[in-house]
Structure 1
Amino acid sequence: MPPYLRIVARIRAAIAAGDLRPGDRVPSTRELMRTYGVAMATATKALTALRQEGLVEPQPGIGTVVARRPRSPAAGPAADSDRLVSTAIRLADTDGLAALSMRRLAAALGIPTMTLYRHVTNKEELLLLMTDAAFGEAPLPDSAGRAAGWRAHLTISARLQWGVYRRHPWVAEVMSFTRPPMAMRAMAHTEWCLAALERAGLALPVAMHATMMLANHVRGTAVNLEWEANAEQDTGVDNVEWFTAQEARFAQITATGAFPAFSRLAALGPDAVDYELDALFEFGLARLLDGLSALVDALPHRP
């Protein structure tokens, strides 16, 4: 156990046993240095940790005293759940999910790593809270109106999901269709689409398949966002520069005559196809909805 945590543990135990009561003065930084033989930085860190736990508080003219109304750890300014989740999201947005660890999150919050486990059981629970918060940034409308039809409802959901992935590419890695996270605000999209398709006349099992198909298109396209961001960060080369560097190799391959369709496509010019992910998402969304339209139109008795 680090020295500062040993100090924290002893003072915490003294408070719990009643040896130190609310309002009693706790040892100062210099007293901790003398008693425990530690550096000033270590003593300061110990008192900071006790304040973050809500066990002690500064008293003007006296020093640090036992808190008269101890706060729960969750209410601490550096360790409350909202700040924990928002900080984790910021780290994942900046450096990717692979770079997010409990140790790094604790360092960013300025608290001991073990303090995190008072708010989340493990990293899996942290990711669940992060995902739920990310989807909470793009809530579904309270009411889009049934008259708008199932296609409008599914389009709203798909574009909101795409926006979540656009802002937080790491979410695509967290989402799973075999072991989906039980994030309520993500599940709300499934419920929204199921209800719209059931009103259109589809049986719920069929509606569930259609909903999963749509969500998988959004997520499957979004997986490339994180990959591209990591590739650009690692190489310093963006997507356009990479394609430009591949032109000679592409020309060499198509010159063999083994790929005539590729050759004809290349002859149309660089602007013939929009390879941007937003365009690919919208194209796939429209085609999936066209296919579902055929399925709904074939129902024997439409509502």
Structure 2
Amino acid sequence: MAVAPYQRIVSDVRARIADGRLAPGDRMPSTRRLAKEWGVALATATKAMALLCQEGVLEARPRSGTFVASTEPSPSAPAPAARPAAATRAPDGDLTRQRIVRAAIEIADAEGLDGLSMRGVAAKLRVATMSTYRHVASKDDLVLLMADAAFGELGYPDPQPDDWRALIERAARTLWKTFRRHPWLAQVFPLTRPMPLTGLLTHSEQMHAALRPFGLDATARLDVLVMLYSHIQGLAIHLERETQAQEASGLTDEEWMDQNAHAMEAIAASGRYPGFAGMMAEFGEAGYDLDLDKIFELGLRTLLDGLSVTLERHTPA
């Protein structure tokens, strides 16, 4: 009797775990890679991954990917029924604003701002929802407290770089790392409506220190800071948007590209867009992998190369 293709993938993954090629906690290849490796449709690879998750062999972690589970249950032995946890509440006297903010950040990191609610924070802390309002007036106020705390997580140990460019690079990379840790953070407020967050000012102070020796007036300095921040935030916005797109469509970025490959090829073949067609031809079968970290570094380097020309004109004689 022929074995279904998805079952062959399931058996192979189990074998890799059994012989140690895949260890608990290892991240699984994407469904696109599995489909290519096995020569099957994406739907077949997706079905295999879903079955392994249902059986507890793999576990899907929100916003992270699919990983080998820490312990693999026997497929022949059903998992014991979980006992309902006792609905115990923590004493409200132990509740602090800091604990509320930290719990809210953990929820937003896992589920995005759309998954954040005062009720959810209270449930995570095992307190009554109304108790949280004694420390935070509203969800909007909570989000600002979260942003301030997140921006302030990473500091700048001494000694500071002596070179202006190294100072700005350090600040920009620290901000980018912060957005990487908290993808929701770039969504909190638009560039045109900055918020009075001391955590964010920690980063801008580094850039002010870099620009101070050049004698730029306040408007020129702020223009530079806005330009640099917009590059970082502008890229970081897509960290959360990609997750939102995956949740809305059920497709990873690779699967989405595969689904739209024929439409892209038709545009290239139309002859109306020779630049696009030539680029697609150069990529060939390998395609293009969008690497936001690489784009961040490219943009930062390009901006600072241009800024160096401007600063040379303002260097005191």
> 1:62-81 maps to which residues of 2 (within 5 A)?
76=94, 79-81=95-97
Map of 2:80 onto structure 1 = none
Matched, 1:140 2:156: yes
Q: Secondary structure at the match of 1:268?
A: helix
Give, in whole Å, the separation in 2 of the partners of 1:268 and 1:188.
Answer: 44
Tell me the CA shift for residue 272 of structure 1: 7.5
Match of 1:19 in 2: none
Check conservation: 2:165, 2:304, Cα contact below 8 A: yes
CA offsets per residue over residues 251-277 of structure 1, 9 Å max, x none? 111211111100111111155755211
In structure 1, the partner of 2:117 is 101
Written as runs of structure 1 = structure 2, the 5 A alignment for 1:160-171 is 160-171=174-185
Residues 152 and 202 in structure 2, CA contact (< 8 A), matched pair in contact too:
no
**Which has the higher mean CA deviation after the structures are superposed, 81-90 or 229-238?**
229-238
Q: What is the letter of the counterpart of residue 263 of structure 2?
A: R
> How high is the sequence identity, in percent, across the aligned residues?
39
Change over 3 Å in CA distance of 1:183–1:142 after alignment to 2 = farther
Correspondence 1:146-225 to 2 at 5 A = 147=162, 149-225=163-239
Q: Given the alignment of the two structures, is residue 52 of structure 1 paired with residue 91 of structure 2, yes or no?
A: yes
**Cross-structure match for 2:270:** 256
Deviation at 1:89, TM superposition (A): 0.6
Is the 8 Å Cα contact of residues 158 and 218 (structure 1) preserved in structure 2?
yes
Amino acid at match of 1:212: V
The separation in 1 between residues aligned to 2:217 and 2:158, in whole angstroms, is 24
2:183 match: secondary structure? coil
Runs of 4+ in 1 over 6 A off after TM superposition: none
Amino acid at match of 1:276: D
Contact 2:92 2:127 in 1 (8 A): no
Retained in 2: the 8 A contact 1:128–1:182?
no
Q: Distance in 2 between matches of 1:124 and 1:179?
A: 15
Aligned to 2:130: 114
- Bigger mean CA deviation after superposition, 218-227 or 268-277: 268-277
After TM superposition, give the deviation of residue 206 of structure 1 in Å: 0.5
Indicate the structure (1 or 2) with the bigger Cα radius of gyration: 1
Conservation of the 8 A alpha-carbon contact between 1:150 and 1:200: no
The unaligned stretches of length 5 or more in structure 1 are: 1-43, 55-75
**Residues 128-172 of structure 1 deviation map (CA, whole Å, 9 limit, x = unaligned):** 221122122211234413x2x211111111111111111111000
CA distance in 2, matches of 1:131, 1:142: 25
Q: Would you say how many aligned residue pairs link Structure 1 and Structure 2?
A: 231
Q: Alignment partner for residue 105 of structure 2, among 64, 81, 89?
A: 89
Question: Aligned equivalents of 2:115 and 2:210: distance in 1?
Answer: 39
The aligned counterpart of 2:279 is 265
- Give TM-score scaled by structure 2 length: 0.68
Task: Kindly provide the CA deviation profile for residues 25-50 of structure 1, in whole angstroms up to 9, marking residues without a partner as x.
Answer: xxxxxxxxxxxxxxxxxxx98xx76x
Query: 1:237 maps to what in 2?
Result: 251
Cα shift readout 1:205-247 (whole Å, capped 9, x = no counterpart): 2111101110111001000000101222333322122222221
Asked if 1:281 is matched to 2:296, the reply is yes
Q: With the length of structure 1 as denominator, give the TM-score of the two structures.
A: 0.71
2:313 maps to 298
